[in-house]
């Protein structure tokens, strides 16, 4: 197993993995939370980011949600976000399997939903067998 760590070379390689696509496909509703899918970035660039796991599963996430939850994704897209007319950016994660990336995307939704909550925030469940890999992915993604 390789360790996932962030450094300048890794960030440059990750930025090189970004590619623009022409359309949004299979946009999933995250647990019925319609407000999370609203586009607060209208007219200023892509609305979604497609995250592709090491085993080629795709997760399409609202751009605002991904930028708010992940410092790494924000850094990777910083230079190209306003210069593209595309609806979606694609980022490939060669070291993050789909089960882990799915848990990370669930965390993005959880963080967005509870970021301004005045109620008690429930525990975010992470199964024991996914804990180490999830921690490595979260560290890499700065979330």
CATH number of the domain enclosing 131: 3.30.710.10
Structural domain boundaries, residue 135: 8-141
CA distance 90 to 70: 15
Tokens linked to 50: 């497609």
The proportion of the chain whose per-residue pLDDT surpasses 70, expressed as a percent, equals 65
Pairing of strands 88-92, 48-52: parallel
The total of structural domains in the chain comes to 1
**Is residue 37 included in any domain, yes or no?**
yes
Confidence class for position 30, pLDDT limits 50, 70, 90: very low
In a domain, 3, yes or no: no
In this structure, is residue 57 part of a structural domain? yes
Between the alpha carbon of residue 99 and those of residues 41, 87, 96, the distances in Å are 29, 26, 8
Highest mean pLDDT among 52-66, 73-87, 114-128: 52-66
Whether 68 maps to a domain, the answer reads: yes
Q: Indicate whether 2 belongs to any domain.
A: no
Summarised one tens digit per residue, pLDDT across range 92-133 is 999 999 999 999 999 999 999 999 888 899 999 999 999 999
Burial of residue 46 (number of CB atoms within 10 Å: 0-12, 13-18, 19+): buried
* Strand-pair category, 19-21 with 58-62: unpaired
Which residues lie closer than 8 Å to 52 by C-beta, 6 or more apart? Answer: 58, 59, 90, 91, 92, 93
Whether 1 is in a domain gets the answer: no
Please tell me the distance from the alpha carbon of residue 96 to that of residue 140, in angstroms, as a whole number. Answer: 10
């Amino acid at each position: 197993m390789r360790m996932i760590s962030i450094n300048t070379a890794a960030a440059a390689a990750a930025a090189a993995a970004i590619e623009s696509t022409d359309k949004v496909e299979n946009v999933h509703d995250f647990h019925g939370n319609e407000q999370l899918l609203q586009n607060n970035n209208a007219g200023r660039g892509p609305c979604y980011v497609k995250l592709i796991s090491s085993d080629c599963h795709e997760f399409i996430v609202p751009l605002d949600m991904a930028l708010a939850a992940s410092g790494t994704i924000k850094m990777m897209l910083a230079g190209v976000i306003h210069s593209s007319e595309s609806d979606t950016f694609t980022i490939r994660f060669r070291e993050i399997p789909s089960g882990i990336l799915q848990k990370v995307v669930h965390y993005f939704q959880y963080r967005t939903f509870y970021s301004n909550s005045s109620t008690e925030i429930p525990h975010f469940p992470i199964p024991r067998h996914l804990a180490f890999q999830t921690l490595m992915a979260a560290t890499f993604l700065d979330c």
